[in-house]
Amino acid sequence: MSLPVPVSAIEALEAECRKHPQVEVKYRHHFAEGVYAREVTLPADCIVAGRVHKQSQICILSQGRMKVTTEYGVVEVEAPFTLVSPPGTKRAVFTLTECVFTTILGTHMTNPEVIHDTLTCATEQEYLQYTRYIPCHS
């Protein structure tokens, strides 16, 4: 078992990847009462870094094989695979084959752009700033 990958390392990887040609992917958006699912098909040999999520979410790999950063380090996973990510998580993946990956969030919002802007942060620093404003209840 390897060590967890720090968010700063994923952000550095993301910055390096921006220097190279980008792959255009199309997201499919699904809604149910209080639930939003964002599904994407990723080509093989692709590096993807997600955003920092403000709330927990469920991630499902329904097709393919990939390497993904987890709290246990980088692990290779194969569909079907499900992972629960706690708030503050930023993941990176390397697709070994074509993959279908879905992120599921609890929300009543129905505009994908608003959900993206409201429930995620671009950087760990932005997330840490956000957590300073969350009221504590006992």
Domain positions in the chain: 7-131
Does the 7-131 domain belong in CATH 3.30.930.10? no
Max Cα–Cα distance, the chain, nearest Å = 48
* DSSP-based helix, strand, coil % in the chain, nearest 5: 20, 40, 40
Q: Is the pLDDT of residue 134 over 70?
A: no
Q: Provide the strand spans (E) within 43-86.
A: 47-49, 52-53, 57-63, 65-70, 73-78, 81-85
| CB burial of residue 68 (10 Å; 0-12, 13-18, 19+) | buried
Amino acid at residue number 82: T
Taking residues 46-51, report their average pLDDT: 90
pTM of the model: 0.83
Q: Is the pLDDT of residue 138 over 50?
A: no
